[in-house]
Structure formats: structure tokens, C-alpha cells
Amino acid sequence: MEANGLGPQGFPELKNDTFLRAAWGEETDYTPVWCMRQAGRYLPEFRETRAAQDFFSTCRSPEACCELTLQPLRRFPLDAAIIFSDILVVPQALGMEVTMVPGKGPSFPEPLREEQDLERLRDPAVVASELGYVFQAITLTRQRLAGRVPLIGFAGAPWTLMTYMVEGGGSSTMAQAKRWLYQRPQASHQLLRILTDALVPYLVGQVAAGAQALQLFESHAGHLGPQLFNKFALPYIRDVAKRVKARLREAGLAPVPMIIFAKDGHFALEELSQAGYEVVGLDWTVAPKKARECVGKTVTLQGNLDPCALYASEEEIGQLVKQMLDDFGPQRYIANLGHGLYPDMDPEHVGAFVDAVHKHSRLLQQN
């Protein structure tokens, strides 16, 4: 530590490193907690800030991203912040048009339909230079956090990004994207490689800008069975971790813990625990004890309360959290939800969740 309270890179000294310690598998005095989509529409102040401009304009405003990232920390004693952004800024930077349709979600007016459509994509090497606004948001937020808690950066994993680019939006079956995997395996691998080549410098750039941990979201893992997952998702998930770590070393940047969250990827837990990530995120469909048996002692687990449990009474939330903490055990564990917060959730209940994690985990540690 330098005498002026500034750490390396000139950022304020970190005061609460519990989340980072848990991510690295070090001992913690209590269980750290954060929530996916903690900066979200369930907060009235988020809706107010966001009302002024469209979604991707907000993503491109470092000032707005910083404000939205900090809002949940003003309300709740969370142990980490996650930068406000979106996984689809990467396809955008590759030259695809994406709009956010209110009430419907993301939409690509011209999705990838044919193999030759890959030629429309920009060189992945330029992607990081297109995403300077994310790096600026991270640096600004790191300064304004004043060392309160660590800041997480993130990106979507290659397969999940591919689904949006081919489907043109959300889908319940991902039939178009999976059709590519079966009918155009070579083109699929080419697209997944392009995305991997874009993601590596993007994630390294986030760390250079001040991100202290990285989460990769494989949100659509559940649409793939074990065979397709092992062929079209896992190799790229592994490659991202390996290459990001190597690039950080080459750049003389300190390593950061990496989290892989493959939603509905319960069939690949063992593989994911050996994919080069310090933390494996779980959705609510996975039993914590089974997950622990499956991944062994070498990784930290993150999750996995059903977000809908926050519709329960505050008393019941406390009981559900206690059960969850008992099942995961006190160490090598970061509490979270099994998916993001929904817009109609009561902020008071989010607070009850965070407080219950802190309270019960301290009691667990004492016994």
C-alpha cells in the first residue's frame, strides 16, 4: 500500500476484499454476496436514470453506466459491484446492428443467415477499440467506488453471443443457431473463433481499465446437450480463460479471478470446474451439495438462490438463505442468485437477502 491510500494503477485502496478472497479460494470471515442484475429495473432510481435515453445510448455513456453501477451499493451492503453494460455490445462492435425493443428485448434487424454473412463482420482485432466507452465506464466507476468493494467486468461467452447473432433476438428453442451447428459446423466454428478473438482483448481491456474480476456469461448453455456443449461451447470457454490469463501476464497486469456462469449447464459442471476459471456460477436448478461433490475443492462456487424466492416474505427469505449457506458451506463460496433480478422485485426483499447472507454466514463461522 502506498502512503496516499492509492493502490496500484492509482486507484483508491480496496477496503473490502472479501469477494476477491472467496474467489481466489482464500478464507473469509463471512460469505460475500452480490446479485446478477443488481443494477436493474427493480430500482426506481434505475428507471429514473434510464428513462432519458435508449438502452444502448446508456451503455455508451460512461457517466450513466457509473451511476447505474453505484445505485445498488447506495442501498445495500453488497460485497461487489458489476459494471452496467450488456453482452451485446460485442456483436455491435463487430458491425452488427442491435436495437433494444421495449418489452421485447434485443433485436438484430439483419441476423446472420448464410455462411457468407460472416464476411460482413469486422476484424475482431478492432473490437476493443470500438468499446472504449466500456473501459471509460470501468475506470470512472473504479475511481468513484473509492475502494469500497471490487468491480466486476463481464462479457457473453461465444456460443451465447452466436445465438443472438443468428436468431436475431431471444428464442425459446435456439433452433436457428442449433441448425448452424448441425448443418454448418465449419462456419459455426469460424464464427465462434471470431467471437473468441474479439472477447480476449475486450476482457483484458476491462482489467487494464480497472476491473478486478471477470464473469463470462454462457446464458444459453441449457439449449445444448453434453455433446454439442463439449464441441461448440466448452472449447471456447476454455480458450477465453487461457488466453485472457496469458495476455494479462504479457501486459504485466496482475491476475484477476474469472467466473464462468453457464446457465442450465448442470451437465457440464465437472468440465467447467476444470476450464481454467476460479469460480463456477450455478443456477437455482443445481443442488449445492451435488455441485460441491462434482467440482471438488479446487474451485469456488457462486449462486444460487432462485430469484423468485425474493417474492417470498422476508422471514422466508432468511430461512431459504440459511439452508443455502448450510448446503454450500462457509468457505470457497460467493452467495448470489441463480439468475438475474427481475424488474418487479421489491428492493426491500433484495436487502433482506443480502442481510441474511451476512448474518447467517457469520453465525455459521462462529459455530
* Alpha-carbon gap, residue 251 to 245, rounded angstroms: 10
Is 86 among the residues known to form the active site?
yes
Is 42 among the residues known to form the active site?
no
Please state, as a whole number, how many other Cβ atoms lie within 10 Å of the Cβ of residue 351: 17
Cell numbers describing residue 319: 430461512
* Alpha-carbon gap, residue 131 to 91, rounded angstroms: 11
SS (H, E, C) 26-80: CCCCCCCECCCCCCCCCCHHHHHHHHCCCHHHHHCCHHHHHHHHHHHHHHCCCCC
* Alpha-carbon gap, residue 138 to 127, rounded angstroms: 17
Cα 216 to chain centroid, rounded? 5
What is the 8-class DSSP label of residue 25? T
Please tell me which residue in 17, 30, 42, 86 is annotated as part of the active site.
Answer: 86
Reduced to 3 states (helix: H, G, I; strand: E, B; else coil), residue 43 is: coil
* Alpha-carbon gap, residue 25 to 332, rounded angstroms: 5
Residue bearing cell 450513466 = 64
Angle of the 62-75 helix axis to the 44-51 helix axis, nearest 10: 170
The residues facing 261 across adjacent strands are: 217, 281
Amino acid at 190: Q
Please tell me which residue in 30, 164, 277, 333 is annotated as part of the active site.
Answer: 164
The residues facing 153 across adjacent strands are: 214
Please tell me which residue in 30, 37, 42, 148 is annotated as part of the active site.
Answer: 37
Is 292 among the residues known to form the active site?
no
15 contacts: CB under 8 Å, gap ≥ 6? 147, 148, 149
Please tell me which residue in 42, 50, 79, 277 is annotated as part of the active site.
Answer: 50
* Alpha-carbon gap, residue 268 to 37, rounded angstroms: 24
* Alpha-carbon gap, residue 154 to 260, rounded angstroms: 10
80 contacts: CB under 8 Å, gap ≥ 6? 19, 32, 34, 149, 150, 151, 152, 213
Reduced to 3 states (helix: H, G, I; strand: E, B; else coil), residue 110 is: coil
**Residue 284 to residues 30, 288, 336, 354, Cα–Cα distance (Å):** 21, 9, 10, 17
Residues designated as active site: 37, 41, 50, 86, 164
